[in-house]
Amino acid sequence: MKRDLVSLADWSAEEIWEALDLAAHLKRELRSGISHEHVLRGKTLGMIFQKPSLRTRVSFEVGMTQLGGHALYLGPDDIRLGERETVEDIAIVLSRYVDGIMARVFEHEIVEELARYATVPVINGLSDLLHPCQALGDMLTIWEKKRVLSGLTLAFIGDGNNVAHSLIEASAKLGLRFRIACPAGHEPKLEIVDAARALGAEVEILHDPKQAARGADVLYTDVWTSMGQEKSAEERRHAFHGFTIDLNLLETANPGALVMHCLPAHYGEEITYEASRAPGSAIFDQAANRLHAQKAVLALLLA
């Protein structure tokens, strides 16, 4: 039976830990010069992109290459999801050609529909609702830096967006306390918060960045305006004024707190350049760990 990665809510804590353990193993062996080209030799990943990408495209392509497989890029004009052809038909046809599908899209329903009709594994490379691959790379990074996950406090400063949603889901499964400080009207979706709390997770929704940062082990942020929200960029800059991770906010967190950002960053808005380069910054480590976390997912789902 095929396995998908549409949402971390669909994966058990054991399955998430299996991916993190494998990611760490693959990373160690890569650094030791050990090849893993046998893992997915002869396998092809079809990559559907509705949104432009740096980290997602490069990390999946490089990951497939390092595992001995091949990645096929399908850009916005190549298949025009739902316009030139239905998502159902695309899922069925691609399943006859490739061994797995990764999709970076706008509407989350597209990923769900791909998973419903594809007979090969489907990986959510990003949707407007969720970003599970980012959260896996982030959890790998925190684990590497802190050597523990359960009991830590992760404070997200900014919009209750797709990254925040997946971090909530990951925190619920792995035992982190999650706080978000956001302007009123920009909270994460209640159904995701409620589902996490139903698992016994501690999820706090706050409107004061200092209150959220106080005693936190991780300070995390993301852009205030995501792709597709450009028309409201000026309105968002006004709404999010004061929700910036800077050196003063960092001093409110626990000593040794990590600074994280999924990138790209708009310095001077959601984070200052100085905070991004502070001693506790893990921003570029988490970007690098997208590769290793996704290689683990690919190996688990496609091998």
Residues with a known catalytic role: 104, 131, 134, 222, 262, 290
For residue 128, the 8-state DSSP code is S
- Please count the other Cβ atoms lying within 10 Å of the Cβ belonging to residue 222: 26
> CB of 276 within 8 A of CB of 244?
no
**Token output for 31:** 């650094």
Q: Which of 111, 211, 207 is nearest to 153 (CA)?
A: 211
CA–CA dist 291, 73 (Å, integer): 17
Terminal alpha carbon distance of the chain: 13
Per residue, what are the HEC states of 1-44? CCCCECCHHHCCHHHHHHHHHHHHHHHHHHHCCCCCCCCCCCCE
The DSSP annotation for 148-215 comes to: --TT-EEEEES---HHHHHHHHHHHHHT-EEEEE--TT-PPPHHHHHHHHHTT--EEEES-HHHHHTT
What phi-psi label fits residue 200: left (phi over 0), alpha (psi between -120 and 50 degrees) or beta?
left
8 vs 52: CA distance, rounded Å: 23
Element (H, E) at 91: helix 87-97
Residue 245 makes CB contacts below 8 A (sequence gap 6+) with 157, 209, 219, 221, 259, 261, 270, 271, 272, 275
